[in-house]
Chains A and B, each alone.
Chain A
Amino acid sequence: MSLELRAITKRFGSVVANDTISLSVGSGEIHGLLGENGAGKSTLVKILSGFITRDQGEIELDGTKLHLLSPNEAVANGIGILHQEPLVFLPFSVVDNFLIGSPKEYGYAEAYEALSTISEQFGFDLNPDVSASNLSIGERQQLEIARLLWLGARVLILDEPTTAISSTQREKLFATIRDLADDGMSVIFVSHKLEEVQELCDRVTILREGKISASVDLPSPVEYLVSKMFGTGVLPKTRIARVNGSSLLELANASAFEQPGQIIDVNLSVSRGQIIGLAGLEGAGQRTLLRAMAGFVPFAEGSFRLQSAEISELDYLDRLGLGFYYLPADRQREGLVNGLSITEHVALSVTDQSKVINWNIARSEAAKRIEKFSIKGTVESTPESLSGGNQQRLLLALMPETPLLLLMEHPTRGLDIESAAWVWSYLLTLSESGTSIIFSSSDLEELTTYSDQIAVCFSGRIIDQFDVSEATVEELGLLIGGVHQR
């Protein structure tokens, strides 16, 4: 059993999500697929599972070319996917779930027997008659694995399987994966967690910005893997940390929880005009921290002070009034209103609120901002017709001129180089005129180039915070991976 991918390419508009990806997984091999969010892992998994079709490239299983035009075809060809959230129908019993999707005319008798055989083989403790809603996430994964095996999976792809399970369950899962590999199964383990890939996999392919940046046997030095995950290149000049006297904002012992994501016992101090970069693997708490400061997620504990006033109780709209501003990573879903023109967005963003809109003024204001922010579009353009770079420019154009605090998720994710450079030159001007900026990024270069200070998030905590001059990109990579203390 061996899986062979040759030059898989998938484009979404101008973005190449998978750029000539080739990899091969032999029988009994556990192959890691490592990369930050947006690197192209999910696209590749979706291609293999038949949810989306590739533009180019070949997939071969045991020498047979596969077309994989639908999830059904993938299953029929022996490709089994264990999704991040196990696809289990909660109100149904375990055995019903086991039977669902079975293309063969099997009945309950066969299902009971097969389930017990597979459970015995791998030491699963699955009672066929209980409701699936009584199972833990780990047990749901076991159920799903058992089902995939019964359906005849010859290749097993696990997509971030450890996100929602405890460490005991994880050990159990890893043991199962090793057993499967010993039986000759080809396994692809998709993750952004370095240490797990190191622990489990025989070989790893690292994706970065849609391309393969490395493919090596494991174990391999962590520094090397991190540098391939994040990319470093020539280190540009770092900024001199700017701390203008007393702090403007003070976050003390703050905890907040959302689904998914959390921050625990976070301390952060921000002074006027300061730029703080939040580093960390996806889901380490940066997003929750930004959303909690913006007012979308309530603080469960701790204090949040502006100068000396406690503001942790204020909601987003109140904080907007204080001069806070939040720019999301998902610009289309959370930032802009599809179907409304740029003029309408400008009218929506103005604070002076006469009752009746003067559309002529709004139009000329929109034209001015299109010019100033070099947006490729007209006053009548709607966001869905703009490229990612232009959407980000539009969002910046709609912001009050100098907010007190700008909270920004992935300022340049998905942007072309020119737009990215433009966005940062604008953000730096903002910071010089007194706006404090806190941003998250998975680009080490971006973090070290533009931050005054870097806060490293890991498992919801800020594990380190330092002036940007005090750390190298390599060290930052290790901190992010949680494998190194400074």
Chain B
Amino acid sequence: MNSLQQTKYFAGAITISLVVSIFFLWLLEAPLVDTAKLLVEGAFGTNQRIGDTFMIWVPLLLASASLVVTFSAGLWNIGVEGQIVAGAVAASFVAREVQGSTTVILTLMVIGGFVGGALWGLLVGVLRVRGGVNEIFGGIGLNFVATGLIVYLVIGPWSRDGVASTGGTEPFGPQAWFPTIDGLRVSPLALIIAFVSLASVMFLLSKTHFGLRLRATGKNPLAANRFGIATSRYLLMAFIIGGGVAGLAGVTQAGAVYHRLVPSISGGYGFLAILIVLLARFRGLWVIPIALFFATIAMASFQWQLRLGLHSALGGVIQGVLVLSVVLVMGYQEVRQQREQSNSRDDAAL
């Protein structure tokens, strides 16, 4: 399959999703032109909005980078949400307990968040590799545990003085706040962390022996083993790295967005990132624009609701339609490709 054909299929999928989305808008009697205009204006109309869009972009990039690692190893890491939470909890611990300069605290928050997410991911990995529990079920289970843990912390040990509410902990001290540019809510440091993480993941997967072995394990564990790869170890490493990067999303959510721990800290960005990575066909570079587009839609949803009275779920519907179309069309393309190959190959194993 050459890249021209692949581009054609992709363009076809985008067209389908556009048509279906427009159909939904028509059903809702939404003004098409205004809706489209608000998509751009809502996300990029003012400096403030650009900042907010980028603020949503950060966790999407980090969670996607995490998923690129685990998907490359052939794993469906649905537990990414829990790993974000674990990273946020670890970062909050640092922010609450460590005294020191901003540099020291932020560094420790980043390291702590990575370790927290990595350990949470490792749990899923150990369940999978040693216990034979499919990572989807292990991940979902641990997502619930993580949610439980965060609620317990917020209304229990870390609750505000005299208040038992799920609204969140006391705000962190100012040393634990990620620096922002005046008037914008996005932290440049968070953006840098996101891009450095994504670049590191891409480098790891495409340029190193470790990454190559990880990809081989993901594509064919049996054959990878024949090449002398200890596949279980590589699966565990994928969970550690993936969990760690997802944990960083928790760090930026806690340190750069909320400045405290709140129960909804992961914001569902982990699940959204699964869609992004599926759309990007597991390639890091594609994650960047797709994640930005998803952030754009998320921002536009607010404006659609505010200005046109459209339901806030519309953004999710459009994202879902887009992913479904691409997955369906690309799946169809793969089936066709396999058929062509089986016709041109002497595989008479039957």
**Which residues from chain A sit less than 8 Å from chain B, CB to CB?**
12-15, 17, 38, 42-43, 46, 52, 316-317, 320, 326, 328, 330, 332-340, 344, 347-349, 353-357, 359, 384-385, 387-388, 398, 414
A348-B227, A356-B207 given; A334·B213 CB < 8 A: no
The answer to the question of B212 belonging to the interface, with a C-beta cut-off of 8 Å to chain A, is: yes
Inter-subunit contact A13/B226 (CB<8 Å): no
Assembled-state Cα–Cα distance A330/B345 (Å): 14
Q: Which of B222-264 contact A (CB under 8 A)?
A: 222-230
Inter-subunit contact B346/A353 (CB<8 Å): no
Pick the contact of B348: A17, A316, A326, A354 (CB < 8 A).
Answer: A17
A52-B350, A338-B220, A384-B341 given; A355·B227 CB < 8 A: no
Assembled-state Cα–Cα distance A361/B24 (Å): 53
The answer to the question of B307 belonging to the interface, with a C-beta cut-off of 8 Å to chain A, is: no
Assembled-state Cα–Cα distance A328/B229 (Å): 16
What are 30 contact pairs spanning A and B, CB under 8 A? A12-B345, A13-B343, A14-B345, A15-B347, A15-B348, A17-B348, A17-B350, A43-B350, A52-B350, A316-B225, A317-B228, A333-B220, A333-B223, A334-B223, A334-B226, A335-B223, A335-B226, A340-B215, A340-B216, A344-B212, A347-B209, A348-B213, A348-B224, A349-B227, A357-B208, A384-B345, A387-B345, A388-B346, A388-B347, A398-B227
The answer to the question of B15 belonging to the interface, with a C-beta cut-off of 8 Å to chain A, is: no
Q: Which of B136-155 contact A (CB under 8 A)?
A: none
Inter-subunit contact A347/B212 (CB<8 Å): yes
Per-residue contact bits, chain B 307-350, to A (CB 8 Å; 1 contact, 0 not): 00000000000000000000000000000000001111111111
CB-CB under 8 A from A353, the residues of chain B are: 209
Pick the contact of B223: A316, A320, A337, A344 (CB < 8 A).
Answer: A337
Q: Which of B48-80 contact A (CB under 8 A)?
A: none
Closest A-B pairs by Cβ, 4 of them: A15-B348, A15-B346, A13-B346, A12-B348
Assembled-state Cα–Cα distance A360/B200 (Å): 21
Nearest Cβ distance between residue B87 and chain A, in whole angstroms? 26
CB-CB under 8 A from B222, the residues of chain A are: 333-334
Inter-subunit contact A332/B207 (CB<8 Å): no
Inter-subunit contact A337/B350 (CB<8 Å): no
Assembled-state Cα–Cα distance A261/B226 (Å): 20
Secondary structure class of chain B's binding surface, majority of residues? helix
Q: Which residue of B lies closest to A40 (CB)?
A: B348
Q: Which residue of A lies closest to B228 (CB)?
A: A320
A338-B220, A340-B215 given; A355·B350 CB < 8 A: no
Inter-subunit contact B220/A337 (CB<8 Å): yes
Assembled-state Cα–Cα distance A335/B226 (Å): 7
A334-B222, A340-B216, A384-B341 given; A357·B350 CB < 8 A: no
Inter-subunit contact A317/B230 (CB<8 Å): yes
CB-CB under 8 A from A385, the residues of chain B are: 341, 344-345
A337-B224, A349-B227 given; A414·B346 CB < 8 A: yes
Nearest Cβ distance between residue B226 and chain A, in whole angstroms? 6
The answer to the question of B37 belonging to the interface, with a C-beta cut-off of 8 Å to chain A, is: no
CB-CB under 8 A from A326, the residues of chain B are: 226
The answer to the question of B210 belonging to the interface, with a C-beta cut-off of 8 Å to chain A, is: yes
Per-residue contact bits, chain B 172-216, to A (CB 8 Å; 1 contact, 0 not): 000000000000000000000000000000000001111011011
Q: Which residue of B lies closest to A329 (CB)?
A: B349
Q: Which residue among B212, B215, B223, B349 has the maximum number of chain A CB atoms within 10 Å of its CB?
A: B223
Inter-subunit contact B220/A13 (CB<8 Å): no
CB-CB under 8 A from B216, the residues of chain A are: 337, 340, 344, 348
Inter-subunit contact A387/B346 (CB<8 Å): yes
CB-CB under 8 A from B225, the residues of chain A are: 316
**Which residues from chain B sit less than 8 Å from chain A, CB to CB?**
207-210, 212-213, 215-216, 219-220, 222-230, 341-350
Assembled-state Cα–Cα distance A332/B346 (Å): 11
Assembled-state Cα–Cα distance A15/B215 (Å): 31
Pick the contact of A355: B210, B224, B345, B347 (CB < 8 A).
Answer: B210
Interface contacts beyond A339-B219, A347-B212: sample of 15 additional A-B pairs, CB < 8 Å, sorted by A: A12-B342, A12-B350, A14-B345, A14-B346, A15-B346, A42-B350, A328-B226, A334-B223, A338-B220, A348-B224, A349-B227, A384-B341, A385-B341, A388-B346, A388-B347
CB-CB under 8 A from B210, the residues of chain A are: 355
Inter-subunit contact A340/B345 (CB<8 Å): no
Assembled-state Cα–Cα distance A333/B215 (Å): 16
Assembled-state Cα–Cα distance A46/B222 (Å): 27
Pick the contact of A12: B207, B215, B223, B347 (CB < 8 A).
Answer: B347
CB-CB under 8 A from A388, the residues of chain B are: 345-347
Inter-subunit contact B346/A348 (CB<8 Å): no
Nearest Cβ distance between residue A452 and chain B, in whole angstroms? 26
Inter-subunit contact A354/B346 (CB<8 Å): no
Q: Which residue of A lies closest to B345 (CB)?
A: A13
CB-CB under 8 A from A15, the residues of chain B are: 346-348
Q: Which residue of B lies closest to A12 (CB)?
A: B348
Nearest Cβ distance between residue A380 and chain B, in whole angstroms? 11
CB-CB under 8 A from B212, the residues of chain A are: 340, 344, 347-348, 357
Assembled-state Cα–Cα distance A385/B337 (Å): 11
Inter-subunit contact B349/A330 (CB<8 Å): yes
A337-B216, A337-B219 given; A356·B345 CB < 8 A: no
CB-CB under 8 A from B230, the residues of chain A are: 317
A328-B226, A330-B349 given; A357·B213 CB < 8 A: no
Inter-subunit contact A357/B345 (CB<8 Å): no
Assembled-state Cα–Cα distance A41/B343 (Å): 21
Assembled-state Cα–Cα distance A235/B223 (Å): 36
A337-B220, A338-B219, A348-B227 given; A13·B209 CB < 8 A: no
Inter-subunit contact B223/A356 (CB<8 Å): no
CB-CB under 8 A from A14, the residues of chain B are: 345-346
Nearest Cβ distance between residue A12 and chain B, in whole angstroms? 4
Assembled-state Cα–Cα distance A14/B344 (Å): 7
CB-CB under 8 A from A332, the residues of chain B are: 347
CB-CB under 8 A from B350, the residues of chain A are: 12, 17, 42-43, 46, 52
Q: Which residue of A lies closest to B225 (CB)?
A: A316
Inter-subunit contact B219/A355 (CB<8 Å): no
CB-CB under 8 A from B346, the residues of chain A are: 12-15, 387-388, 414
Q: Which residue of A lies closest to B230 (CB)?
A: A317
